Amino acid sequence: MRSDGKLDYLELPSTGLPETKTFYEAAFGWTFQDYGPTYAAFDQGLDGGFDADTDRPKAPLPVLYAHDLPAMLEKVEAAGGTILKPIFDFPGGRRFHFIDPSGNELAVWSEGG
């Protein structure tokens, strides 16, 4: 059930919809619902937080999950992503940051060290 104030949707810019969809399909197995030639929707779940660290990204940072972080890093690279920050530890586990083919920065995290 949707409620007032609940973060409900995330839109990311795309510089080329076919290439963007191909990347997310290959790296993460995402599927899409097309709404015309310039919009494709995805349904992948969403939680969130605020980051006040001075070294944080200056735009919203979508963070995805992976059970096997090194394997996911390899899949992201193989699909055409650019690794911005290799795997590192943070208080909740480990993660890496990457740039997708449209220039969006995202991260992938996993529990444990």
User: What pLDDT shows up at residue 5?
Assistant: 58
Nearest to 77 by CA among 46, 56, 108, 55: 108
> What residue spans define the domains of the chain?
17-47+59-110
| Tens of pLDDT, residues 62-71 | 989 999 999 9
Q: What is the pTM of this model?
A: 0.82
CATH of domain 17-47+59-110: 3.10.180.10
Q: Tabulate helix, strand, coil % of the chain (nearest 5).
A: 20, 25, 55
